[in-house]
Amino acid sequence: MSDSSEPVIYQLKVVLLGISPMIWRRILVSSDSTIEDLHYTIQLAMGWEDIHLHHFIIHGKQYGITQPGQTHLNKT
């Protein structure tokens, strides 16, 4: 049995919506990563330079900017 104090590694699939052919990356992130860490990891994986809009959905709550001038913090 694993020690519960050790972080878990999650495998995530990052997909760009509305693009054909599909563009995606599979990344590994630690359970102790912050949203800022995830942001940086996605920037590196996609080859971006911190100028692309994106958002995260965590337990139904949206974080990030998806359109210029529009911030989604909570969508119900």
Q: What is the mean pLDDT of residues 2-24?
A: 87
Residue 20 forms part of a structural domain: yes
Residue 33 forms part of a structural domain: yes
Residue 19 forms part of a structural domain: yes
Query: For residue 75, what pLDDT band results from cuts at 50, 70 and 90?
Result: very low
How confident is the model at residue 61, as a pLDDT?
Answer: 85
Domain count, the chain: 1
DSSP bridge pairs for 64: 55
Question: Per-residue DSSP letters for 37-62?
Answer: HHHHHHHHHHT--S-S-EEEEETTEE
Residue 76 forms part of a structural domain: no
Query: For residue 26, what pLDDT band results from cuts at 50, 70 and 90?
Result: very high
Residue the block writes with tokens 């972080």:
7
Range(s) of the domain holding residue 46? 9-71
Residue 46 forms part of a structural domain: yes
Residue 1 forms part of a structural domain: no
| Per-residue pLDDT tens digits for 27-72 | 999 999 988 898 889 889 999 887 767 677 778 888 776 655 544 4
Q: Could you tell me which residues come within 8 angstroms of residue 54 by beta carbon, excluding any fewer than 6 positions away?
A: 42, 64, 65, 66
The answer to whether 66 touches 72, Cβ cutoff 8 Å, is: yes
